[in-house]
């Protein structure tokens, strides 16, 4: 049998340069406060939910004790409203003393002791979006050094209250300043989101050289319509966005809202699958202390995580947009594997979609298919054989596809699937 080679055009994009701090070779995973907890600073009346060290320690405990950390969810990220309204006597940012009485270094140690990492939030401008002290150009070095001294592992630098010129200067300057501290601090840039996300205003080559990830577009909210809005923007603009991603440099469509109030189970599976196609950072913004079991199952699905975290780091694309409301996505993965996602934008009932791997551009051959959400292998499939998938309204069917075992020229069995399966999937019995 001839070796099966899935068309690999997208791989061409992986050779570009990334920020040289060696971090985030696969999309970062963890937890981020903003979408779920916003700027709740009322610890007197809402002690469990206010932005305070307790909230971050609670989430760290859950990540460490409930199986998240082992799956890769290691960042615990503070967002806006953590700081005091004034800088200290030396011009350094300081946390609100009432809500963070132990200080940030102690919080960072808390994370590190548990094998986790601590992220923090700043804003390149006079104020953060929530009105807290910002990082004007003259404060960039001070703030980078402060974060490094505190043991911070990641900085999200927002762009409220700054203009295009400040941003053009400030975002690269902060990148340099972080590197100059000698501490490896991952760098998330909101810059493109403030410039409309598209060239000529946005230069994705430059972003890849200075940032590990970047917000391209607006804020996610707790609703399915918000996901669709983000999704539409990212895939309408995929020709621009998709080649920008690669190891160490990721597009960020914003947080996962799975486990909050706005999504059904099908929609939760869809967000996770589409974020995996996009090689997106997986920052959950939910309450891990009271997560329901169905959301947990989606967020902890090993197959979808493995696909998101594929070491090639090639972002996927939408291949097909049918009039019926069915859309098909494809992402190449390492070892000749790939993922296919069938997504339904319909609002009526499960839709039976008929196609074949050949129609999805697969080269001739026999393939093994693993259904990621059913968590089981399907019968092997010839490229030319038509099949039918039943896709729930606003839901997905997600497949991990790999060439059937075959003999290489040296007589050894070609077994890419086993490597993937070894770590993440239950090995199919027929392999
Ligand atoms: C902006 C960002 C959000 C969040 C808020 C905080 O809107 O895009 O992700 O950080 O600011 O105020």
How high is the pLDDT of residue 412?
52
- Mean pLDDT over 182-211 rounds to 98
Neighbours of 378 (CB within 10 A): 16
CB within 8 Å of 345: residues ≥ 6 apart = 228, 325, 326, 327, 394
Q: Report, in this order, helix, strand and coil percent for the chain, each rounded to 5.
A: 35, 20, 45
- Mean pLDDT over 237-246 rounds to 98
Question: Cα(306) to centroid of ligand 1, in Å?
Answer: 28
User: Would you call 215 helix, strand, or coil by DSSP?
Assistant: strand
192 lines ligand 1 (CB under 6 A): no
Each residue of 249-278: pLDDT tens digit?
A: 999 999 999 999 999 999 999 999 999 999
How high is the pLDDT of residue 409?
56
DSSP per-residue string spanning 153-189: -EEEEE-TT--HHHHHHHHHHHHHHHHHTSS--EEEE
Question: Cα(278) to centroid of ligand 1, in Å?
Answer: 21
Q: Among residues 61, 66, 166, 219, which one is catalytic? A: 219
Each residue of 135-173: pLDDT tens digit?
A: 999 999 999 999 999 999 999 999 999 999 999 999 999
Q: Among residues 80, 96, 158, 252, which one is catalytic? A: 158
Cα–Cα distance for residue pair 427/336, rounded to 1 Å: 17
79 lines ligand 1 (CB under 6 A): yes
- List the one residue out of 64, 98, 95 whose CA is nearest residue 81: 95
- Quick check: 8 pLDDT over 80? no
From 2-11, 174-183, 295-304, the region with the lowest mean pLDDT: 2-11
Q: Whose CA is nearest to atom 3 of ligand 1?
A: 219
Each residue of 354-395: pLDDT tens digit?
A: 999 999 999 999 999 999 999 999 999 999 999 999 999 999
Known active-site residue 219? yes
Using the structure block, give the residue that is written with the tokens 């004007």.
Answer: 136
pLDDT above 90 covers a percentage of the chain that reads 89
Known active-site residue 222? no
Closest ligand 1 atom to the C-alpha of 129?
12
Reading the block at residue 313, the tokens are 């780091």
Q: What angle do CA 119, 122, 126 make, to 5 degrees?
A: 175
Indicate the pLDDT class of residue 19, thresholds 50, 70 and 90.
confident
pTM of the model: 0.93
Cα–Cα distance for residue pair 152/3, rounded to 1 Å: 47
């Amino acid at each position: 049998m001839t070796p099966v080679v899935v068309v690999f055009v997208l791989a061409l994009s992986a050779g570009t340069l990334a920020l040289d701090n060696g971090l985030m070779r696969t999309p970062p995973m963890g937890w981020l406060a903003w979408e779920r907890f916003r700027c709740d600073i009322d610890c007197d009346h809402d002690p469990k939910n206010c932005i305070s060290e307790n909230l971050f320690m609670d989430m760290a405990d859950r990540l460490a004790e409930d199986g998240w950390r082992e799956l890769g969810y290691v960042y615990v990220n503070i967002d806006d409203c953590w700081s005091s309204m004034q800088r200290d006597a030396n011009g350094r940012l300081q946390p609100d003393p009432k809500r963070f009485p132990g200080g940030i270094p102690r919080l960072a140690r808390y994370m590190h002791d548990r094998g986790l990492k601590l992220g923090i939030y700043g804003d390149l401008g006079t104020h953060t979006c929530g009105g807290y002290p910002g990082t004007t150009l003259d404060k960039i070095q001070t703030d980078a050094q402060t974060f490094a001294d505190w043991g911070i592992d990641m900085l999200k630098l927002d762009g409220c209250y700054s203009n295009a010129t400040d941003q053009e200067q400030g975002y690269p300057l902060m990148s340099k300043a972080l590197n100059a501290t000698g501490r490896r601090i991952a760098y998330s840039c909101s810059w493109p989101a403030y410039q409309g996300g598209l060239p000529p205003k946005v230069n994705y080559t430059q972003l890849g050289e200075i940032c590990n990830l970047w917000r391209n577009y607006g804020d996610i909210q707790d609703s399915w319509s918000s996901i669709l809005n983000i999704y539409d923007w990212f895939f309408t603009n995929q020709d621009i966005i998709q080649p920008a991603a690669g190891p160490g440099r990721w597009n960020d469509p914003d947080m996962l809202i799975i486990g909050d109030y706005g999504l059904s189970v099908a929609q939760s599976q869809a967000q996770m699958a589409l974020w995996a196609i996009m090689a997106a950072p997986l920052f959950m913004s939910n309450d891990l202390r009271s997560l329901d079991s169905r959301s947990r199952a989606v967020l902890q699905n090993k197959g979808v995580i493995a696909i998101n975290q594929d070491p090639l780091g090639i972002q996927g694309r939408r291949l097909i947009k049918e009039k019926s409301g069915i859309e098909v996505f494809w992402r190449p993965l390492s070892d000749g594997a790939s993922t296919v996602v069938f997504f339904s934008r319909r609002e009526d009932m499960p839709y039976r979609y008929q196609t074949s791997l050949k129609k999805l551009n697969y080269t001739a051959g026999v393939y093994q298919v693993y259904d990621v959400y059913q968590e089981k292998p399907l019968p092997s499939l010839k490229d030319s054989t038509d099949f039918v998938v039943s896709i729930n309204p606003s839901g997905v069917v997600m497949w991990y596809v790999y060439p059937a075992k075959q003999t290489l020229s040296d007589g050894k069995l070609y077994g890419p699937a086993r490597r993937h399966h070894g770590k993440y999937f239950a090995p199919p019995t027929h392999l």
